[in-house]
Structures are given as structure tokens and as C-alpha cells.
Structure 1
Amino acid sequence: MSRFDGRRLSWTRLTVLVGALTALVLVGTSSWHSVQDSQAAEANGDAWYAGYVDATVTPLHAFEQPTSKATRDVVLSFIVSDPQQGCRPTWGSAYSLDAAADELDLDRRIARLRQQGGSVVVSFGGAVNSELATACTDAAELLKAYRSVVERYDLRMIDLDNEGAGLADRAAASRRAVAMHALQVERAKAGKDLRVWLTLPVAPSGLSEDGRRAVETMLDHDVDLSGVNVMTMDYGASRTTGQSMLDASIAALTETHRQLGQVYAGAGQDVGSSTLWRRMGATPMIGQNDVPGEVFSLAAARGLSAFADQKGLGRMSMWSLNRDRTCGANYPDVTVVSNSCSGVDQGGTSFAKLLRGDMTGRPDTSAVTPVVPGSAGRGQGEEARADDPATSPYPIWDEETTYVEGTRVVWHRNAYVAKWWTLGDVPDDPVVDTASSPWQLVGPVLEGEKPVALPKLPRGTYPTWDQDRSYRKGERVMMGGTPFTAKWASTGVSPDAQASREQPSPWRRLTDAEIRTAAQAAAKATKDAKPRKDGGKKKRTNDR
């Protein structure tokens, strides 16, 4: 006899049993997907922070001298097209890659940052000027242009900042995606990865239609997209009345997360929620934004960092490290955006540290193995540190030579620039602190360098300095073949006279770029002054 003899299983009991079993299956499946999603997010690497640096704006930001972990990784911006040659990459349309190395010492400063364990990401595009794919319509030349930047700076990660009118250019978007895919394949074959981030404008309602299409285009062309970074700034009319900058930024990120889920699903990439957050980044404009009345405060930075930590956001940046400081007292209207300060009283706090929060990842850890300054080896004897004039860009430092402000030298395989008049002060004196030293370390001598050949200014280009003459600001003189310009009015103060921070010189040596410009102008003037072989007479031609 059965234990349950005479009992029947009712339909009600059966329904409850099936429901319970189904619930258990769904819970188990959901938990498994959550585990998979979490594992996939972790596979994308630790969340990282890197602030943008405007590489060409003056005064130049000394990114090669990081003061904390929050400033050691940078996104240098912006590479754009040459206004006259669309397929030629430039820094901000003002410097070719070679000119940036020469006049901004950019290559050396990048090397110096990497020596100290820093990472460099390069950003293409921006709000001003034309991104390469917009101006360069030749596919082969476009790929060549992107490649030249990636190879020159040995990049492992790049940032594509698409905004403004160029964002709506579908043909440019396709050219860009094709080039990115080809470049990633090339780098992979060379044993080097290339991670690509897409940076886009955003509103509290999320990405625009053009922004969504930009992501879709990348995925459609098989670009291995590391993530989408949204510019949580300059909301304008899209921000509702009473909505704070923090609330608007959280709304923008939340809605973008939903949109990207649809975009990735449409591309056949079924990524989970955690993975999607790890493939997203946020970039606020610290302090006063371009839109009047929009101020991203220190409190907003703390709140955004907390939100990023809660969601597992993969990246945090900011515009910009150039601006991460309180404006000085001589800048009275902080509602006007400055390139050099935030417009808010930071009270000794940096936005960089607040936004980095607990992020421990690095954008570019595999790019360059950090080495100590003077990589020839400081502990390996003087011979290993010997300087060769044939492979040094600047003259070797000499204790008997007087150097004025702005003079560059090489010492122990590193380049230095004089901060003020100096004689006999060793550039790498380990006893003298940085503030007291008349020398500032620029960076290492790079492989393959040759002496920088500066043109000599013809005699008489500028008047010889006269101790009895009064000079006004901006006047130029020559002394011992070296050109100087007056920083303020002076009489009887020699350009090569000893100077210090306490008693600065009224003279400044012309920069290398200024000397080149002056030499070109002098050469042109000489050419124009030469009499023509035909005596200046026009040859007559037969009328036809």
C-alpha cells in the first residue's frame, strides 16, 4: 500500500509546485548571468582616471611633472588636420608633429612622464578645427596619418573626440571606422594592442542620434571599441529648471547606458549591464563651464565619483588639468571661462583627486616600461652617462659657460632649460631642491637625436646692445651673436648680467622658434633687396 494511498494531487497544488520550480530556475539563471556579467566587466580591466591636457594652450601645462597619482596619466589633446593639408596631422592646427617636438619639446616631455611611470593617451578631434577623417577623404592617406601619430608616440590607447558639425558627417564616420579597424589589425600583427575610446557630447536625455550612429558605425566596421566616454558638460537648454549639474550628469550617464545596451544588442553583442558600465566613461568640465550659469563644483565632483564607483564606470576624465586650480586675484570675473583656472575656490583641493577617487586602473600600463631619469644608468659609472655632442640636441653643459634664461643644454643624457641666469650650477645637482635650482629638467635625450641646427642671425639683424641707451618693452638687441628681447623698460642692464628670482633680468633670450622666424624674415629681406639680373625691367612679349 502506498504511503499516499487515497490522496490526489490537486491542480492548485500542481500549479504552485510548477511555479516554485520555475522561480528557482529563473533565479538560478539570473544569478548565473549576473556572475558572467560581473566576470566580463572585470575582464575589461580596472577602472582608470586620466585628465585631459590642452597641449598647445599657453601657458603650457607641465604634464611631464606629475604631482600625484591623479596627474600622472594624461589625455593629450588635440590632434587635428592641417588647415592647408587635410591629411596632415597637427597639434591644434598650430604645430606639425615635428614642430611640436621642436618648439614644445613634446616628444621629450612625453618620454619624461613615462620615465616617472605615467601614461599617455592622445585625443583626436575636439570642438574646434577639423578631425582628420573629416578633412582627409583619401582612405590610404587617412590611415597613414593616424598611423604616424600612433607610431611616433608609441600609443596603446587613443581617444576619438567627435563633436560639432563633424559628428553628423556620416562619410567621415565610415572613413574613421575603416581606418581604426585597419590600424588595430596592423598593431595586433606587430604584437601591440591599440585600444580605442569614442568621446561624444551628451545631454541629460542621453546621446543624440548622431552620437548613437557614431557608435553603431564603429561596431559595424568591427572596431574593437574599448568604450564610449560622454562629455558631461555644457548642457544648456537640455538641463531642466532646478536640475543640478550632478543630477544632469547622472541622468545623462544613466540614459546613455540604456541607449548603448540597445546599440550593442543591435550589433549582435549581448553585453550585460555591468560590462556596459565598464565600457563607459564620463568627462565633466570642472568649475565654470562654457555655458553661463553652469558650474561643476567640488561637491559635484565628489558626487559623480561616488556614482562612478557605485556603477563600476570604466573611465573618468576631466577638462582639464590646465584648469585645475583656483583663479588668481587678478582674474576678477570668474564667470568667464579661463584656460588656466577653474573659476571656483578650490581651497587647496584638486578636482583630479576627487574625480579619480578609488580608481586604481591605468589607461596605458603596457606602453613603456618606466625607467629612471638618465636611463643610460646613474649607478653604472660616468662612462655610461657620458654625453655625445653628435647625438645630443643641445650643447653639452659647460661649467665655464654663462647661461641665460631659456637656454637649453644636455647633461648626463637629459635635456635641461635654464630658469634664470646661471654659471657653474650643475643641472642635476642632487643636493639642490627643484625650486632653488636654476635648471629645469625637460626630459631624456631620445634615441636617434641629432644636434638642433639653429640658423645664425645675420649681423645687424638687431642693434647691438648699448649700455647708454634706454630700451622699451619689446625692443630686440644682439649681444655676442645672441638675440634678446626686452621684458620691460631698462637702462644699463646687460642682457647677460647675472640674474636671479629676487633680481630678475629685464631681458629674455629669443626662443628657438623666434630665432627661426627672425632668420627667415632676414633671408627674405635680403633676397628682396637683391637687384634682378634684368635690372628690374619686364621683358616684352609679342602680342598675339
Structure 2
Amino acid sequence: MTTVENASQKPPKTRRLSITRLLIAITVTAALVAAGVIGARSWYSSANTPEIDPWFAGYVDVTATPTFAFETPKSDAAKNVVLSFIVAKSGEDCTPSWGNAYTMDEAANSLDLDRRIARLQQQGGEPIVSFGGLLNDELATACSDENKLVDAYQSVIDRYSLTTIDLDIEAGNLADTDSSARRAEAIASLQKSQKADGKNLAVWLTLPVAPTGLTEAGTDAVSAFLDAGVDLAGVNVMTMDYGDSRVEGQSMLDASTAALEQTHRQLGILYSRAEIDLTSDTLWSKIGATPMIGQNDVEEEIFSLADAKAFNKFVVGHNLGRMSMWSLNRDVTCSPNYGDTRRVSDSCSGVPQGDASFADLLGKGIDGDPVVSAAVVTTNEPLAPVVEDDPATSPYQIWSPDSTYLLGTKVVWHQNVYSAKWWTRGDLPDNPVLETFETPWELVGPVLPGETPVPIPTVPADAYPAWDGATTYREGDRVIVGQYAFEAKWFNEGEAPAAASTDPDSSPWVVLTDAQVQELLDAQETPAG
């Protein structure tokens, strides 16, 4: 677990959509997002395919001291665990180790790990092993021999009888494009061989996230897995340590829910590019969330008990496939001897908890079995038909490629309301971009039932002269550009009024407000004298 990486890298090859398919995907997806949902049908290919069974499992740092007794869970919420981290052993790049401190044999002897895992399984708990993490090389980063890499992963799966694995890819492991391709191919081969042996293997990809969604390196990692043919159980995002990506005044809860919503949007695009159509419900089931409880590594970021309760409500309400937390080791109030709770501890949360448990709050109502979910197979699903926008039930004008829109202008497109972030013309509001900075439109929300057009005063075409770049204008002069009227703030010539939308302070023009336009219309309707 770590802070958000801003790594930028050349994306791996991805399958391309035809223009026809892309246009269909754009219009269909946008229409289905209306009212916050894309569809409500199950995404499974046959009645015999198990449905997703959302589960909770907290991470356990296996090598941390004091040793955490995951084999004797304090509550039902702690019965499933994500054991971390399997990494490459220094000097033996294709040998799995626990945190580069113990080989699997050494962990069995020194930590009694095999026996403790067996005890957990006897009690109905499920171990999930996480590969990677922040501090060491994930196996694919260090091991360049593809056959040995597959064998290394397989040895961990066989030793601990795993049905679900977690690949925590961050920092240098995430930025390494060569290892990304190796990892994806190895996991695809592994998943195929497990299936041939009649065994299920669910693969979760755990990635850093910002309130604006996955980083470019993160979306590249997802694409690499999909291109390799991996059937991802889901993408688990680390809703923590946002740093500068969290805007001023944004709470940890709001930042985390925003991160999930943006990840949902991005996954829809990534699966569509991979020529796999999934409904909104299915996409939510392919998302996991992992907050860092209590004090985060970023000093001013604290994920409180109240945040945990509210976050659980969001996760359950959207039916995410997984909820985790970092970590079960830390799910307790720090002792009075721990002097500075702003300094992150491996063994306490840094916030007063009383009798409360983050695991119980985050895991409430999420009592599924990872073994059941591991049997789910991703399949294409039919998408609902496009619903055309109706001017009579649209609160704002319907977007047109021929119209110009200024900063703050609201439009309706495919049953959603969008607001312009800057001057724009011809840019689709629902263009499927992975990064929000690539589009001039911000999704506000769906058109609500029973809405009618909001009256917007329109400037008569002959109210003022059309702007002319060769004309000199003085303070107070008014001109028409398209459907907008502008007023000069000072003497100018050749200064396009449209710039007022993108740089209002420097532009000599200001667009007339609705109130000013209405005042003009009222004056025209009032008889002279």
C-alpha cells in the first residue's frame, strides 16, 4: 500500500474498436448511465454460473511484528484475510518469499504459517495471498524467465490451496512496462491451466487511485491483463494516501467515493475497448475498495470510524464485489505509550476506537465467500437500447455538435446533464476518455423524472452587432457571437470574446448574464413612452 503514483508510460498494445462499434458503445453506455445505472440484469452466461458473492477480507502483514494472529479472528468480519506480501527473493529472482524475509519453507518453520493458514481454513475462513506491495520487487518485475515465473506463482497457489489471488502493483512495479506484460501473460497462462484442471482462480488487480480515478499506469495495467486474456475478478483500488490529488476541503470519504465512481467509469471504457460489453451493475461488482484505516501515511489524511461506516454504506449500496482494509494488524487503538499517533504504526490505527472495530464497520453486510465468487466467469452481456433525448423533458438544451458552449453552460446528452469546464465546440459530452482532463465536459447527473426545460433567455440575433475582429470596441460596447452576447470591459481590437470563457481575467470581454439578457428582452417588450 502506498501513495498515488503519477507514473506515465507508453501504453501496451490494445485491441481497437471499429468506428461503428465505438459510436455504438458511446451512445449505449451514456444512455444506460442515466439515473446512475446502466442495467439491472445479472451478467452471468447461464443459470448454472454462480453469481458474485461480495466479500470482505482485511489485509494482514505477515512479516510485521508483533505477529498478528489471523488464524483466531476476533469477529466474522475477520475470518477471510489477504495475506501480504509475496515478493521476489533478493538474489533468487524467481523464488517467492514473504516480504523478502522468509521463503515459504522458512515461513512455515519460523512463523508456523502453513499450520495457521490450515487452522483458518478449518474454521471456514479463506486465505487470499497478495503479491507485490510497495517495498519490494513483485515476482514478474524480477523474474524474466516466463516459465519460471508461472512456476513461482503456481507454487504459492498450490502450497496454500488458493482460489483467489491479489496482485498489488504499485510504485516501480507499476511503472515497469516489461514486467507488466510478463505478469499479464503469466497470470493468463496460470488461469488457463487451473481451469483445465477443474480449478477456479480469481485474480484481483490492486492499484493506486486518485479521486479522479486510476492513473495512466493503472489503466495500462488493466489493459495489459485484458489484452492477455485474463478474466479479472476485479480491480481493487487503494482509497488512501491521496496527497496532492485530493482537492482542498475534500474529505477522505468524498475523495474515496469519487475514486470509486471514476474507476467505475474507466473500467467501462477499458472493457469496451477489449470488446467486452458489461452493464453498470457488473462493473461495480468488478471493483474492490481498500481504505487505510485511521492515520494514513499522508499526515493530514485520517480515515475515521465515521468514514468507515459511511463508506460501507456506499460500497454495499453499489454492490461492489470486494471490500478490504489496510490492515487487520492496525485495527486497534494505540497504547498510551505510543507517543505520536500522527506517525503511522504497523500495529495500531492512530485514532481512538474504544470497543469499535474498523473491520466490523467496513465489513457490515458484506458476508460473501471468496470461493463462490472465484467460480464466476465474465461474459458479454446485452446492453439496453439508446433512449433519445426529448426537449420537452430536458431541463437544458440538448447538446449539438454545431453549437458553441461557454464555461458553465449546461446541456443534456443521452439523459444526463453535463456542464462545460471551458469553451467547447464539437466535443461529445460522453466521449469515453480515461482521464477527466481530456474532456471539456463534467457529468453533473441524470435527468430526473418529471423535469421540464429551465427557461434560458435567448439574445435576439439583431440585438447587437456581430463581433468583427477589425472593429475597435470601447468599454460598454456589446456584440453577438453565436447565441451569446458580450460586453467590452475595456478598449480592445481583434480580441475574440470566446476567450472570456477560458481566461476571464485577461479577456476584455464578459458574457452577459441571464439577468442582463432578460432585462434587454423586457425593455424590448415595453412600449416606448
TM range (shorter): 0.5 to 0.7
Choose the corresponding residue for 2:39, options 34, 38, 44: 34
> Larger Cα Rg: Structure 1 or Structure 2?
1
Specify whether residues 333 and 40 from structure 1 end up closer, same or farther in structure 2 by C-alpha distance, changes over 3 A only: farther
Question: 2:248 aligned to 235, 241, 254, which one?
Answer: 241
| Shift of residue 296, structure 1, vs aligned partner | 0.3
**Which residue of structure 1 aligns with residue 484 of structure 2?**
none
Matched-pair contact (CA < 8 Å) for 1:120–1:364: no
Give the residue type in structure 2 aligned to 1:36: R
Q: 1:306 to 1:33 in 2, by over 3 A?
A: closer
**Amino acid in structure 1 at the alignment position of 2:240:** M
**CA distance 1:308–1:329, shift in 2 (3 Å):** same
Q: 1:115 and 2:129 equivalent?
A: no
How many Å apart are 1:37 and its aligned residue? 4.8
2:146 alignment partner in structure 1: 139
Measure the CA separation in 2 of the matches of 1:132 and 1:309: 33
**Do the aligned partners of 1:73 and 1:119 also contact (CA within 8 Å) in 2?**
yes
What CA distance in whole angstroms lies between the structure 1 residues aligned with 2:114 and 2:50?
A: 32
- Which residue type is aligned with residue 342 of structure 1? S
Q: Deviations over 1:475-532 (max 9, x none)?
A: xxxxxxxxxxxxxxxxxxxxxxxxxxxxxxxxxxxxxxxxxxxxxxxxxxxxxxxxxx
| 1:45 to partner: Cα distance | 1.3
Query: How far off its partner does 1:332 sit?
Result: 1.6
Shift in Å, 1:39: 6.5
Is residue 2:90 matched to residue 1:83? yes
The one-letter code matched in structure 1 to 2:56 is: Y
Other-structure match for 2:353: 346
Shift of 1:191: 1.4
Name the CA distance, whole Å, in 1 between partners of 2:159 and 2:128: 13
Unaligned runs of 5+ in 2: 1-30, 375-529
Letter in 2 for 1:118: G
- The residue number in structure 2 matching 1:301 is 308
Q: How does 1:407-486 map to 2 (within 5 A)?
A: none
Contact 1:64 1:109 in 2 (8 A): yes
The answer on whether the counterparts of 2:289 and 2:322 sit within 8 Å (CA) in structure 1 is: yes
Deviation at 1:265, TM superposition (A): 0.3
Matched, 1:265 2:269: no
- CA–CA distance in 1 between the matches of 2:370 and 2:343? 32
| Cross-structure match for 2:480 | none
Distance 2:128 2:372 in 1: 11
Question: C-alpha distance in 2, partners of 1:43/1:247?
Answer: 33
Counterparts in 2 of 1:87-486, with a 5 A limit? 87-364=94-371
Q: What is the aligned partner in structure 1 of residue 60 from structure 2?
A: 53
Task: Find the counterpart in structure 1 of residue 384 from structure 2.
Answer: none
Shift of 1:33: 7.5
Q: Distance in 2 between matches of 1:224 and 1:39?
A: 13
What is the alpha-carbon distance in structure 1 between the residues aligned to residue 80 and residue 273 of structure 2? Answer: 34
Distance 1:317 1:366 in 2: 15
Contact 2:50-2:372 at 8 Å conserved across structures: no
Shift of 1:36: 2.7
- State the alpha-carbon separation in 2 of the partners of residues 316 and 40 from structure 1: 25
Q: Identity of aligned pairs, percent?
A: 57
1:364 CA drift (Å): 2.9
Return the offset for 1:116: 0.8
TM-aligned CA distance change 1:212 to 1:222, over 3 Å: same
Query: Tell me, what secondary structure is at the counterpart of 1:87?
Result: strand
Tell which has more relative contact order, 1 or 2 (C-alpha 8 A, sep 6+).
2
Q: Is the 8 A contact 2:253 2:307 kept in 1?
A: yes
Contact 2:54 2:373 in 1 (8 A): no
Aligned residues of 2:81 and 2:126 also touching (Cα < 8 A): yes
* Cα drift, residue 38 of structure 1: 6.5
Q: What amino acid maps onto 2:116 in structure 1?
A: R
Q: TM-score, normalised by structure 2?
A: 0.62
Change (3 A) 1:87 1:275: same
Alpha-carbon shift at residue 34 of structure 1 (Å): 2.7
Paired residues of 2:284 and 2:319 also in contact (CA < 8 A): yes
The alignment of Structure 1 onto Structure 2 pairs a total of residues equal to 341
CA apart distance, 1:130: 0.3
After superposition, give the CA deviation of every residue in 1:58-107 in whole Å (9 maximum; x if it has no partner). 10000011121111100000000011111110000000010000100000
What is the distance in 2 between the residues matched to 1:297 and 1:169? 34
**Contact 2:168–2:207 (CA under 8 A) maintained in structure 1:** yes
The answer on whether the counterparts of 1:324 and 1:350 sit within 8 Å (CA) in structure 2 is yes
Residue 152 of structure 1 deviates from its aligned partner by 0.7
SS at match of 2:198: coil
Contact 2:236 2:288 in 1 (8 A): yes
Q: Structure 1: where are the runs of 5+ without partners? A: 1-25, 368-544
How far 1:187 moved relative to its partner? 1.1
Q: CA deviation at 1:44?
A: 4.2
- Kept in 1: contact 2:93–2:142 (CA 8 A): yes
Conserved? CA contact 1:50–1:363, under 8 Å: no
For residues 205 and 248 of structure 2, the distance between their equivalents in structure 1, rounded to whole angstroms, comes to: 30
Work out whether residues 86 and 99 of structure 2, in 8 Å CA contact, stay in contact via their aligned partners in 1: yes
Distance in 1 of aligned mates of 2:358 and 2:312: 10
TM-score using structure 1 length = 0.61
Separation in 2 of the partners of 1:237 and 1:322?
Answer: 27
